[in-house]
Structures are given as C-alpha cells and as structure tokens.
Chains A and B, each alone.
Chain A
Amino acid sequence: MADLLAARFQMGMSLAFHIIFAVVGIAMPVMMVLAERRWRTSGDPIYLDLAKRWARGTAILFAVGAVSGTVLSFELGLLWPTFMRFAGAIIGMPFSLEGFAFFTEAIFLGVYLYGWERVSPRAHSFAGVMVAVSGALSGVFVVTANAWMNAPAGFELVNGAPVNVHPLAAMANAAAPAQVLHMTLAAYAATGFAVAGIHAFLMLRGRRAPFHRYALTIALVVGAPAAVLQPVSGDYAATTVARHQPAKLAAMEALFETQAHAPITLGGWPDVESRRTRFGIVVPHALSLLAFRDPAATVVGLDSVPRDQWPNLPAVHLSFDVMVACGTYLALVGLWAGWLALRRADLSRRRVFLRAVVIGAPLGFVAIETGWMVTELGRQPWIIYGVLRTADAVTPMPGQLWRTGVFALIYVFLAVVVTVLLSRQIVRSPMHTGEFERAKG
C-alpha cells in the first residue's frame, strides 16, 4: 500500500514537474517567432534583443523539459509495468507520433538557438515556426494518450486482455477533443500571462523601457485570447466528463446525491462521512444546466457509485474550484486587455491593469496543476477508467519510497536552480539603463 502511494506520488510529481517545462516549450517559441518577425518588419533592434533574451531563457527550460520528459517515458514502465503491457499496443501510437514531433522540435531548436549567424533570416524564422508547431503537436499527441485513459476505446476486453486492437480508434476516443483543445489553450494562456506578468512587474518598478512594453504586448497577444477562450473550452470539457466519467463529475462538484435540478457548490469541504458538503456556496440548477444544457436534467451523484470507486473528494473538488477561479480571473483580465487594445491605450501608463497582470502571472500555472489533479485524481481508483485499477498496475518492486524521495530531491534542486538562473536573466534585462531609448534615438 505504501509502495502504491509512493509510486502514484512519484508519477504525479514527475508529471507536475514536466508539465511546467512542456507548456513553456509549447508557447515560448510562438512568442520568439513573433518578436523576430516584428524585428524583421520594423527593423527595431529592441525586438531582436527581446527574441534573443527569450531564447536564452527558453533554452534552459527546454533542456529541463527534455530530460524530465525522458524520465516520464521510462517511468511509465518502471512504475506501471502492467499498465504498459496492457496499453502499449493500444496507445503507443500517439507516443510514437510524439517521438517524431520531439525530433522536429529538437532539431529546429538547435538551428534556432545556435544558428543566428549560420543560416539565412528566412531559414531562421522557419526554424522558429517549426519549433512552435512541433511543440504544440507533441502536446496534442500525449494528451490524446491521456484522454484514452479517461475514455478507453479501440479494443475489446476478453478474459481481462485486450483483443481486436485499433490504435486509430483509441486515438479518436471521446475525451480527446475536449482535453486536447483545453490543454493547448492552457499552454498559451499560462505562459503568456506568466511572461506578461514578469514584464508588467518590471514596468511597475519604473522602467518604461520600450523593451518591456514590446514584451508585454507580444505576451498578451499570445496569452489573452487563449485565456478568454479557456472557460468556453473548459465548459466543453465538463460536458464531456459528464457524459463519460460521471464519478469524476460528481467528485468535481461534490455531488453526493443523484438528482434532477442539481446545484453547483462553490468551494466548501466535502465531508465523506456525513455525505454533505459544508461551507460551500450553492447555486441551484446550475450543474444540470451546465453539464446537460437543461436545468431539470438528472446528474449522477456519488450515491450511484460504489464506495470503493470514489476518488479523493476534497482534493478533486477543491482543485477544480481553484482552476475555475484562476480561469475566471485570467479571462476577465484578458477581456480587459482586449478592450485596452481596441482603445489603443498606452499600457505602460495603466498601473492598475499592470498590477492585475502581475497577479495573473502565476495563476495560469496554478490552473494547469490543479486541472491535472482533477483529471488524474478524479479518475482514481482507475488507471484506465473502468478497465484496470491503479493498484493492479503498479510494479511489484518494494521500496518505492526511497526512489520517490531521491526524485523529489532532484526535482526540488532543479526547480531552485532554474529559478535562480531565470531570475538572473530577468535582472539582467535592460531596466537599469536607458540604453535602448538611446539606441532607438
């Protein structure tokens, strides 16, 4: 039991670590390409400086993303050998495609980072576009694999073994479209707001260097539209969950009783013993309306789910509410940014707006982490929903706790180093001097 918990903890920790770097690897190339393009069209050297500085930071994050991703592909087997024996042939396909996406990404990243003086301007921009596209594609493929765990398809179960395997049908599982859309938008929203927040912070510190204004604008161009769309795609995700994983939806919403006119409970603590959610704010009919587009619809509650198949309610419910809260905030700030852009306002003078952006900087990443907790913890006790239990998939090797501890130390160490290195890059950014105003003349 302790070994199972340690293995689950290690898997979750590794993914929660990797996802930060993966998300940056998806969205940063888009921003670098935009900055480089502005430089080529306007000739303004500040844009070139921006693209190069962003590239330096991205290179560090990319390396950590690549090695932590490698850890994951081994861990799938090291921790869950039974899962992989069952699922390898069914969902190996998206992983194989992801492999090719990684190749393209790594190759053109090499060209992009080291090739400023070695390849033509067009080839350089092309390399940036390739990195951006293949980064997004690798995310799409791996999330497709995860969606299959939530809504398994493409095989038949005979005596506990999969037969009649159709990998393409497995990829076209019911959960994939919503998860892929929601996750891809999440990458742009979270990274866009994180970068915008950093530059807004430096502007608030009194540096109106055009450098930061350009950076802020590009980051918001990438982040704000995605943040505005995120509640819409999240609603789509929720309706999918309602149809295919009723137990997860009930846990997300802390709904103990199956009922028509089901309410939504905001916040509160789901008390498993008394089967009541305490301290929450109840919005009548809202859940039926949102999940099934009908205020009278019946929503399955946990009383229809065998007790040994309940996920961890407080964790799933509160994670969900935190994600939605972050998403609502970011969407509002995104709308505000759009409104200011329509009015062609000078963002550097909007101090309240800049503060709001600074507050939003970590929230996208908070939403990503809590969103994944909803997805992964909400699927428990299943590793493949309704098919294979996590407890039956874990490695037989004892002593998992030791290894989990070692990896925890490594991740903490890497996180500290990356933070120090990145903040040093940021401190070095041109805010202490007026060199760029001068350079611009």
Chain B
Amino acid sequence: MSSALFLAGTLVVALNAYVVLGGADFGGGVWDLLARGPRKEAQRQLIAQAIGPVWEANHVWLILAIVLLFTCFPAAFARIVVPLNLPLTGVLIGIVLRGSAFAFRGYGGDRDAVQRRWGRVFAVASLVTPLLLGTALGAVASGAVGAAAAGTAASFGVRYVRPWLAPFPLSVGVVTLACFAFLAATYLTLEGPAGALRDDFRRRAIASGIAVAAAALAALVTAAPSAPLMWHGLIGSWWAVSFQLLTGVTAIVALAALVRRRYALARLAAIVQVSLVLWGWAWSQYPYVVPPDLTIAAAAAPAATQQLVIAALVLGALVLVPSLFYLFRVFKGSDRLSTISHP
C-alpha cells in the first residue's frame, strides 16, 4: 500500500470516528428538538448529560479530518472548498451556533426562558448542520464538485449552487441526518436508567433506523441518474454488491436487537452499520479523492510531507488512544448512574 493510500484511509478513519462520536452529539440535538410526551424534560436532561463531557473531544475528529485533507491532499482541498463554499459556510454557522448554544444553556442560568431559547438554537443547529455536511460529501461523491472546478466562465448558479443543490447530494444529506439521529437514540438507550425513559429512546431508535434504510434506498435510486459514477461504484461489481448486502444485514441486526431490547448489541450493530455506509462511499469513489478525475496519487502532497505526517500520526496516536480510552471510561464507564457533576 502506498503511503498516500494509507493517509487517505486514515482520513476516512477520522471521518468515521467523527460520524459515530460527533455525529451522535448532533443526533442528540435532533432528539432534543423532537422531545415529546410526559418525559420531555427528562429526555432533554439525559441528552445534555450524555453530550456534556465529551462533545469537545468528539468535535476534534472533524478538525483532524480537515487538517489531514489540506496537509496530505492540498490540491483536493483547494478544489472542494470552492464550489462547496455555500454549504460549508452553512456548516460552519451551524457548528458555531450549536457549540456555543450548548455551552450557554449549560452555564447560562436556570431560568426557564433562557434554557428554552438556547435549547432551541442548539437543537435547530443540530438538525441543519448534518444535512449540509452530508450534502457537501454527496456533492463530492457525485463528481459534480470535480466537474464544477473545471469550467470557470460559467454563471454563479452553475459554479456555486448546482453542484450540491441536486437530488443525490441532498439525499446523502438526509441519510447523514438519519444516521446521526439513529446513532444518538441507540446510544441513549444505554445512557439512562432502565424504564420508561429508556423505552422512549428505544422507540426513537427503531423509527430512525427505519428512516436510515429508507433514506439510503432513496439515495441509491437518485444515484443512478444524477451520480452515475457513484452508482457504478456502489453496485458495479460483485464485491461492491456484497458490501451493500453486509450493510443491510447489520441494519437488520441493529433493528432486531432494539426490538428485543438487547441494547449493547444494538449499539454495536448501529456503529458497524453506519461505519459500513461511510466505507462503502469511500470505497466506491476509489481511486479518486475528487471524482471524476483527481486521484489520490495526483492530489497527494510530496513524499517528505507524507512521511512526516505518518510519523506524527503514530506519535499522536500513542497519546491520543490512552487519553480517549480514559475519557470514555470515566464518563461512559460502568458506574454511569452516579452523577456527573456539572461545574
């Protein structure tokens, strides 16, 4: 394996970690927005408690992915950001509002009006950001971003809007949102005490699991006309088809486990399922970073940079892995029902 391919793989690993960790934090916001019924406040509290200690660390995975992208594949970064300027700006606004609203709600005082105001900002931003982020990824995968950078004489709409405002990218946005909500609900079944609250999230997990399946199907259908490259990558070979089938199997396992209240199994299956969706996408656009023409090899930084980044990744992992393990053991470990003291 070439070092450029290794770095591209690491980039997907970072994105994967962001999706299953940071994505669930966004999903938590979605469930905050949709909190209903007699246990509305308890649901919101559980969500806030689950996100509080870890969201900043989870968020860094996105930064790592961006930094790896512009360090190791500078040509790809420069090409992606131009046509996707608008949705990415939207993502940024969403990230800023979500993060600060979450902190403001936590520390802003206990008056109900304040709580509700920041809660609303936090929740709406959690809904919009994954949609836009998924749309941006879908636009890259569809090949429209790569094609847009080529023609420079075209109008504003053609260069900066049409690459992403199309059926396939938007349906990827919906898949992303559904996946984040599904992950969050599944994790939340294990965050609180057994009982009615847990059942609330079990029902939400099942519903959003079905939504993931429906959205994925819709994305596949729109891929055929509007993202032919992607369509070919997704089902164009026997191994690609078996990959999609495997993803489908884990989806069924996750839903079945939820129905039978095997929560730990459901969480594992959900993580595997969403990761498979992501890797399926990455695999289908191999060997391109920016389809239809910018390959991993062509976009890669010089060898000296690649080697140093790999060295930094190894050293960084030596610090990072034990630290992350420690963080999750402290806050997501076995005695999880003891209070997490809010400073």
Contacts and interface: CB of A to CB of B under 8 A. Distances in A.
B301 interface: yes
Interface stretch (A92-100, A280-288, A293-301, A320-328): A92-100
Contacts of A95: 67, 70-71
A154 to B, nearest CB: 9
B60 A99 contact: yes
A311 B54 CA distance: 44
A104 B341 contact: no
B156 A81 contact: no
User: Which of B78, B80, B156, B316 has the largest count of A CB atoms less than 10 A from its CB?
Assistant: B78
A114 B57 contact: no
B78 A118 contact: no
Interface in B50-94: 52-54, 56-57, 59-60, 62-64, 66-68, 70-75, 77-82, 85, 88-89, 91-93
B287 to A, nearest CB: 19
A88 B343 contact: no
A166 interface: yes
B196 interface: no
A52 interface: yes
A115 to B, nearest CB: 6
Contact of B77 (A60, A85, A119): A85
A72 to B, nearest CB: 10
A70 B53 contact: no
B56 A77 contact: no
Given A70-B62, A77-B78, A92 B71 contact: yes
Given A74-B92, A85-B78, A107-B324, A63 B68 contact: no
B162 to A, nearest CB: 14
B67 A116 contact: no
B107 A421 contact: yes
Given A88-B71, A397-B82, A168 B338 contact: no
A191 to B, nearest CB: 19
B245 interface: no
B320 A103 contact: yes
B340 A114 contact: yes
Interface stretch (A241-249, A353-361, A384-392, A398-406): A398-406
Contacts of B103: 59-60, 62-64
A60 B106 CA distance: 9
A64 B96 CA distance: 7
A278 interface: no
A404 to B, nearest CB: 11
Given A93-B308, A111-B330, A168-B308, A63 B56 contact: yes
Contacts of A168: 308
Nearest to A169: B304
A99 B64 contact: yes
Contacts of B312: 93, 96-97, 100
B99 A92 contact: no
A106 B103 CA distance: 14
A414 B100 contact: yes
Interface in A159-178: 163, 165-168
Contacts, number: 223
A243 to B, nearest CB: 27
A164 to B, nearest CB: 8
Nearest to A97: B312
Interface residues of A, number: 72
B59 A66 contact: yes
Given A59-B103, A60-B104, A111-B327, A93 B320 contact: no
Contact of A410 (B73, B78, B93, B343): B93
A215 interface: no
Interface residues of B, number: 72
Interface centre among A96, A97, A410 (most CB of B within 10 A): A96
Residue from the set B96, B106, B107, B159 with the largest chain A CB neighbour count within 10 Å = B96
A87 B323 CA distance: 31
Contacts of A108: 323
Interface in A108-127: 108-111, 113-119
A107 B109 contact: no
B74 A89 contact: yes
A103 B22 CA distance: 13
Interface string B240-257: 000000000000000000
Contact of B319 (A52, A74, A100, A166): A100
Contact of A63 (B67, B99, B327): B99
A424 interface: yes
B50 to A, nearest CB: 11
B108 interface: yes
Contacts of B57: 103, 106-107, 110
A76 interface: yes
B78 A84 contact: yes
A93 B320 CA distance: 17
A93 B301 CA distance: 11
Interface in A356-403: 395-399, 403
Contacts of B68: 96, 99
Nearest to B62: A70
A82 interface: yes
A103 B156 contact: no
A410 B100 CA distance: 11
Contact of A67 (B82, B100, B309, B338): B100
B288 interface: no
A332 interface: no
Interface string B13-50: 00000000000000000000000000000000000000
A110 B54 contact: yes
Contact of B323 (A55, A82, A104): A104
Given A70-B92, A118-B340, A93 B305 contact: yes
Contact of A68 (B75, B96, B305): B96
Contacts of A76: 70
Q: Which of A52, A67, A75 has the most CB of B within 10 A?
A: A67
Given A114-B52, A115-B331, A119-B330, 19 more contacts: A52-B343, A56-B107, A62-B103, A63-B103, A74-B81, A74-B92, A81-B78, A81-B81, A84-B70, A89-B71, A89-B302, A100-B320, A103-B316, A110-B327, A114-B331, A165-B301, A165-B302, A406-B89, A410-B96
27 contacts: A56-B343, A66-B59, A67-B95, A71-B96, A73-B66, A77-B78, A77-B80, A78-B88, A81-B78, A88-B73, A88-B77, A93-B71, A93-B308, A95-B70, A102-B60, A103-B319, A106-B57, A110-B53, A110-B57, A111-B327, A114-B53, A118-B341, A165-B301, A167-B308, A397-B82, A407-B93, A421-B107
Closest 10 CB pairs of A and B: A92-B71, A88-B74, A89-B301, A63-B103, A85-B78, A77-B81, A100-B316, A67-B99, A106-B56, A114-B53
